[in-house]
A and B are shown apart, each in its own frame.
Chain A
Amino acid sequence: MSRTFTPKVITANALLEGDAIWFTEDDTWTRNIAEAELITDEAHGDLRLLEAKADQGIVVGVYLAEAKPTDKGPAPTHFREAFRTRGPSNYAHGKQEV
């Protein structure tokens, strides 16, 4: 029996700035999770992960993270991933700064 595959996005940190980034359908990286490719199929996810990892000249630490579809595009489901879309809670630093 196959487990049900829950939707995911591919994420990493930018090599130079270190901030959180997500992999898009056109093989680019975005700083906005809503523009990421939402992966709903396990085999496709494995393949895309390999492709994303090939970009290691510009990214660090590629992994699959749980996400859910919304009207605006993919959104995080876990609070850790939600923090990565915003920044820390003690200062308005990181992505929430702009």
Chain B
Amino acid sequence: MYVYNDFDEGFVRERVAQFRAQVERRIDGSLTEDEFKPFRLMNGLYLQLHAYMLRVAVPYGTLNSAQMTQLAHLADTYDKGYGHFTTRQNIQYNWPELRDVPDMLSDLADVGMHAIQTSGNTIRNVTADHFAGAAKDEVEDPRPIAELLRQWSTDHPEFQGLPRKFKIAVTGCEADRAVIRAHDIGIQVVRNKAGEIGYKVIVGGGLGRTPMIGKVLNDFVSKADLLPYCEAIVSVYNLLGRRDNKYKARIKITLHENGIEKIQDLVNARFEQIQPVFAGVDPQCLAEIEHAFAPPLFKTASTDGYEAARLANPAFRSWTDTNLADHRADDYAIVSISIKKQGATPGDATSEQMRVMADLAAKYGHDELRISHEQNVILPHVHKSDLHAIYTALRDVDLATANIGLISDIIACPGMDYCALATARSIPVAQEIATRFDELKLEHEIGALKIKISGCINACGHHHVGHIGILGLDRAGVENYQITLGGDGTETTTIGERAGPGFGADEIVPAIERLVLGYLDLRMCKEETFLHAYRRLGAAPFKDILYPEKAQKNAA
């Protein structure tokens, strides 16, 4: 795994010291809030409804066990014993006190972590496929270039005041688990006909108030050209992006207003200018980074015990059926740990759970963990012979729920329970849906289904790309929930379609139940997922299920 070099270390330490002085000056009255706010946001410190919130980056979603253990330490020492993992592969602490934040940042620096550029109009934490480096279908591990992008973008002097925030996601496979088409820049590692590795570059995707799917800007950018090419994109955006209206400031709008051809021309022209003099890519440096991400030494062992345990223990079998993904190495598996036991808050993990996961990674997982944008934790490299021991340890701390990709594996943003921008709550809706379908014992029968919930139009909960999306709104002082259908966040990205009028807080869970039970009647067979059925049948039958009175009226 990548370890900070002296430059990274010195830089992060210096930022902590600066922020400590800024906090002191705010407390002693030498800085006003207007003066202090930009400093705290630069260091990931927000103010929410009930407290401050510290957002810590987990670069490209990768952690080692010492880092996860440190996150647990922060949760115990400065927070209420838990942390919230987000769709942006960050962890948020909901209850820090202002005086403690410099110490939190200092503790993070001890394990090579920070909260820099987790806020503001900068290039944010680069997110990646959470199976990177382990997935069977991968062309190449995308994390070395994610790390390169991180180094390039961190404190980049030209890009500290962009028109708006800027988000980059990378994946090494055709199968998209990083929602790259809903990012300002999405990068996919590809191989060309000559067998060389390069990158497909997609721009202008985004969710929020105006959801848009990214467009391919370039089908193949070579390895050496990737950074100057990204630099060209961001610098074109920096000049062209609108600063007059914050709702039109993201690159998706720049692209929409100017057209892909014009952006292509401008990016190419800028690229020609900077590529010959670009100082950012040192092949030596990339080689070192790639070395740091070299795969672990995989072991060989018998998997007889694993097969026997699967036969003997139906609960274990169900968990392995649901929570494992194919690994590139023989007899290895990728384990997705669900931190979403039915009724729990999506994305929350207690300090005890974090420690157990860290210990399991150290003992059985080549010391690696990942945070997924779906708010779960991944052990990317596990030999099958160790799965039963892992399962047993997870079960003791409520982490063995077999629900990955199922109806209770819901993404939910913090919503009105924490977020100052929210228009409604999202967490309780997620909790109630998960609990309800668990009671009905239908979860496995329903099969693959992604529900995603946001507490306002900013779409932090990705509702637009949920098979079923739920958006919480404030209608005349009452919570109201709008349903979207048919969204998809994979390589076939689709923005969901609004189903119709919203539902009140006490109507939304019954509406979802009606919808899902209705799908069970509509599907041709068990293999036809909700999304497939929706694509085959179109929105109409689903709308009829959601709004039975209207359907009756139409039929009459």
Residues of A within 8 A of B (CB): 13, 15-20, 56-57, 60-61, 77-80, 83-84, 87-91, 93-95
CB pair A83–B49 under 8 Å, yes or no, is yes
Nearest-neighbour CB distance to chain A for B20, whole angstroms, equals 15
Residues of B within 8 A of A (CB): 26-27, 29, 32-33, 47-52, 80, 94-99, 345, 348, 416-418, 422, 425, 427-428, 431, 474, 477-479
**Known contacts A89-B425, A94-B50, A15 near B95 by CB under 8 Å:** no
Chain B residues within 8 Å of A20, by CB: 49-50
**CA–CA, A45 to B99, complex, Å?**
32
CB pair B47–A18 under 8 Å, yes or no, is yes
Closest to A62 in B: B33
CB pair A61–B47 under 8 Å, yes or no, is yes
**Known contacts A16-B99, A79-B416, A80-B416, A88 near B27 by CB under 8 Å:** no
**CA–CA, A79 to B92, complex, Å?**
24
Q: How many A-B residue pairs have CB under 8 A?
A: 72
Nearest-neighbour CB distance to chain A for B94, whole angstroms, equals 8
Contact with A90, one of B47, B95, B98, B417 (Cβ below 8 angstroms) = B417
Closest to A16 in B: B98
Closest to B82 in A: A91
Contact with A94, one of B33, B51, B425, B431 (Cβ below 8 angstroms) = B51
Interface of A is mostly: loop
**Known contacts A83-B416, A83-B417, A93-B80, A13 near B47 by CB under 8 Å:** yes
**CA–CA, A94 to B51, complex, Å?**
8
Closest to B28 in A: A57
Contact with B50, one of A15, A19, A77, A78 (Cβ below 8 angstroms) = A19
**Known contacts A79-B477, A84-B49, A89-B428, A15 near B98 by CB under 8 Å:** yes
Closest to B32 in A: A56
Nearest-neighbour CB distance to chain A for B414, whole angstroms, equals 8
Nearest-neighbour CB distance to chain B for A64, whole angstroms, equals 16
Chain B residues within 8 Å of A84, by CB: 49-50
CB pair B80–A78 under 8 Å, yes or no, is no
Closest to B46 in A: A18
Contact with A18, one of B52, B417, B478 (Cβ below 8 angstroms) = B52
**CA–CA, A95 to B27, complex, Å?**
23
Nearest-neighbour CB distance to chain A for B165, whole angstroms, equals 21
Contact with B431, one of A17, A77, A90 (Cβ below 8 angstroms) = A90
**CA–CA, A32 to B427, complex, Å?**
25
Nearest-neighbour CB distance to chain A for B53, whole angstroms, equals 8
Chain B residues within 8 Å of A83, by CB: 49-50, 416-417
